[in-house]
Amino acid sequence: MHQGPAIETRGLTKRFRGGQLAVNQLDLTVPRDSVFGFLGPNGSGKTTTIRMLMGLIAPTSGTASLLGRPMPKASRTVLPRVGALIEGPALYGFLSGRDNLIRYDSADPEADPRTRRTRVAAALDRVGLTAAAGKKSKAYSLGMKQRLGLAAALLQPRELLVLDEPTNGLDPQGMREIRALIRELAADGTTVFLSSHLLDEIEQVCTHAAVMAQGRLIVQGPVAELAARSRLAVTTPDPADAARVLKELGATDLTVTDHRVTAEPPPGEGDLADLNAALVHAGVRVRSFGMERASLEDAFVALTGEGFDVAG
């Protein structure tokens, strides 16, 4: 089995005919066995990138490889090892969920017809649709349709799953179910690449992430590193006094708002409990005191100087 990155792109660029530069010189590296979040606001180029990765559209320039093989050249050998869910699954509404899967499986020349029923039953079970398998798929909720699409991608064992906004349009319960499923698949050794415009979703399920803005890659790496910066946060009715005391004790980069002071704690090994004690000793009334992990959103804002929900 190939052990390099699951996905790699170099200088990958797509300019549409109208002149729109949708993806600009993208160098993406998706490690094997990661759950990789491809993050960016609407219009930042995520779907266009995924469509190039899967060989659905040709890049204007640059290269992409899946499981170590060049795309789209190696499509025929690579794509059977890759499950994909792009822009919602194509389903026949008048067929049951089970029959939709049977149809998908029958379209796969590699799939042995003798084991079809077992394979379909296992895929339905995997996504929790066994009880609803006999229902017409047009009667499915959006979440159930999405799960059926995932089941179709899971009919064969896959080394890599590529999911475009897998939780888009789902209610919170549906989102939780899909995220749990993604974690399970990853635990079984499948590399998962998913796009999302939801920062907290990426923080919840992904080990790695890349952030896109306006067709360009802003940053990529382990989620823990992207959001590693943490700051001291004190909630208090006496923010000015708190800021003064913290500054005297060596804290830097202070921000003071109504009832809150945040700061970089003093360098060195000092015990945070001593800082808290010093505040109280100086008469500062402390409501809460602790280190706050910066979110991926903070990291995004710091990197781009923009809020996350900007139009692309």
Ligand X SMILES: Nc1ncnc2c1ncn2[C@@H]1O[C@H](COP(=O)(O)OP(=O)(O)OP(=O)(O)O)[C@@H](O)[C@H]1O
Contacts 24+ apart (CB under 8 A), 295-300: 295/199, 295/200, 295/203, 295/227, 296/39, 296/199, 296/200, 296/202, 296/203, 296/209, 296/223, 296/226, 296/227, 297/199, 298/227, 298/229, 299/219, 299/226, 299/227, 299/229, 300/39, 300/199, 300/211, 300/218
How far is it, in rounded angstroms, from Cα 130 to Cα 120?
10
| Residue 40 contacts ligand X per CB under 6 A | yes
By CB under 6 A, the count of residues binding ligand X is 14
| Residue 31 contacts ligand X per CB under 6 A | no
Which CB, 216 or 247, lies closer to ligand X?
A: 216
Sequence-distant (≥ 6) Cβ neighbours of residue 99 within 8 angstroms: 92
**Closest approach of ligand X to the CB of residue 168, in Å:** 8
Interface of this chain with ligand X, residues 290 to 309, rule: CB under 6 A: none
| Residue 43 contacts ligand X per CB under 6 A | yes
In eight-state DSSP terms, residue 81 is G
Which CB, 14 or 158, lies closer to ligand X?
A: 14
Q: Give the x/- contact pattern for ligand X in 158-197, rule: CB under 6 A.
A: ---------------------------------------x
Q: Which two structure tokens, joined as six digits, stand for 171?
A: 């209610």
Among 48, 96, 190, 262, binds ligand X (CB under 6 A): 48
Which CB, 132 or 213, lies closer to ligand X?
A: 213
Residue 16 CA, chain-centre distance (Å), reads 25
Interface of this chain with ligand X, residues 192 to 221, rule: CB under 6 A: 197
Interface of this chain with ligand X, residues 6 to 25, rule: CB under 6 A: 16, 18, 20, 22
Which CB, 250 or 312, lies closer to ligand X?
A: 312
**Closest approach of ligand X to the CB of residue 164, in Å:** 7
**Closest approach of ligand X to the CB of residue 124, in Å:** 28
Could you give phi then psi for residue 290, rounded to 5 degrees? 175, 175
| Residue 59 contacts ligand X per CB under 6 A | no
How far is it, in rounded angstroms, from Cα 201 to Cα 192?
14
Among 7, 46, 223, 263, binds ligand X (CB under 6 A): 46
Which CB, 49 or 191, lies closer to ligand X?
A: 49
**Closest approach of ligand X to the CB of residue 17, in Å:** 7
Could you give phi then psi for residue 98, rounded to 5 degrees? -60, -45
**Closest approach of ligand X to the CB of residue 41, in Å:** 7
| Residue 61 contacts ligand X per CB under 6 A | no
Which CB, 44 or 191, lies closer to ligand X?
A: 44
How far is it, in rounded angstroms, from Cα 9 to Cα 126?
31
How far is it, in rounded angstroms, from Cα 258 to Cα 245?
17
Could you give phi then psi for residue 127, rounded to 5 degrees? -100, 10
Residue type at 202?
A: I
| Residue 45 contacts ligand X per CB under 6 A | yes
Which CB, 210 or 275, lies closer to ligand X?
A: 210
For 134-165, the DSSP string reads TSBGGGS-HHHHHHHHHHHHTSS--SEEEEES
Residues that bind ligand X (CB under 6 A): 16, 18, 20, 22, 40, 42-48, 197, 312
